[in-house]
Amino acid sequence: MVNKLSVKALGITFLVLLVIVAVFYIYDAKKGESTFKNNLFPIDAAGVTSISISPKSFNHKEVKIYKDGSVWKINLASGKTAVVPFSKVQELLVLLTSVKPLSVAAQSPDQWKDFSVDASGTRVKVFEKGKNTLDMTIGKFTYQQPRSMATYIRVSGDDNVYLVSGFLDYSFNHDVDYFRDDNVITDDFANWSKLTFAYPSDSSFQLTKTNGLWQIKGKNVDSSKVFHYLTSLSSISIPNFIDNPGQALLNKAKYSLTIQSSSLGLITVNAYEDTTALAITSSQHSDTYFDGKKADAWKRVFAAKSSFTAKKK
């Protein structure tokens, strides 16, 4: 009888302990849920209408990217606006919707400064139809094994500092010009049949395609050099801009390139130069003036006749 009571008592004790363990397990799980979120950025990429960035490397001066109808734009310091390619917006949205939290690095506001997620970090706000659905601060980055990078971030309203996958600073810590459309020409050079270079003095010439071969004045030119030039020109970009060119600068084009394209008709690129600047504009982006002086960008557009001919042995 005693043995039966002992076994029964042990069974009851075991059940009580099991219930206690289960309760603590559930409590810890719920506590963990409050400090660790599987989805830090609950945004609908398709519904995003604007993104506001205050990059730390540029004194937190706001960069506002917003949707105007079907076109994405950005505000410039001059008061004007510029077009932002959808590919650059999409890059940001894909990053925000795919980033994954790896761990909680800190849980107290006293530690925010240690990870640069205080006022010193890059702040990013996302809006969906005017409603602020994400407000985060991007802080320091760190290397993870094997050969991957992670970033410390903080979400507004949450004291925690999270370590998330990816190098977010690379995508968001930029000034206005980084997000602008910097394409001078966008076309497939297979559509091109003639390029006319109008230069000062007697240095003008035409590059024409006859029976699949490129020629200058009826003579074949170096096909590899032409291919290299046309490949670069068909997708050329200049990431530097002149937003307020003086009217005196734009009086007369010094260099001009006209491309005959079977898909787009005539594509014209002009360069205006004075003692202070060299501005390049394209018929594909007539309201944009690219800075042709930086890194001698103008030389990539306006080639010399000699650059297409083979050197004599």
pLDDT digits (tens, 9 = 90+) for 200-238: 988 999 999 999 999 999 999 999 999 999 999 999 999
pLDDT of residue 171: 94
Quote the pLDDT of residue 276. Answer: 87
Q: What is the identity of the amino acid at 98?
A: S
Q: Is the pTM higher than 0.75?
A: yes
Mean of the per-residue pLDDT values for the chain?
88
192-198 β-sheet, strand order: 219-220, 213-216, 205-210, 192-198, 255-261, 265-273, 278-282, 285-291
The region, left, alpha or beta by phi > 0 then psi within -120 to 50, assigned to residue 297 is alpha
What is the distance, to the nearest Å, from the Cα of residue 225 to the centroid of all Cα atoms in its chain?
A: 31
Q: Give the residue carrying structure tokens 């060299």.
A: 278
**Which range among 13-27, 51-65, 179-193, 247-261 shows the weakest confidence by mean pLDDT?**
13-27
Q: What is the mean pLDDT of residues 109-117?
A: 96
Q: Which of 22-36, 128-142, 249-263 comes out lowest in average pLDDT?
A: 22-36
**Strand positions, DSSP E, 76-147:** 81-84, 101-106, 122-128, 131-144
Residue of 197, 182, 212 lying closest to 254 (CA atoms): 197
In degrees to the nearest 10, what's the CA dihedral of 4, 8, 13, 16? Answer: 180
Given this model, what pLDDT does residue 78 score?
Answer: 86
Find the mean pLDDT for residues 127-137.
94
Minimum mean pLDDT range among 126-135, 186-195, 303-312: 303-312
Omega prior to 146 cis, within 30 of 0: yes
Whether pLDDT at 27 is above 90? no
d(CA 165, CA 154): 13
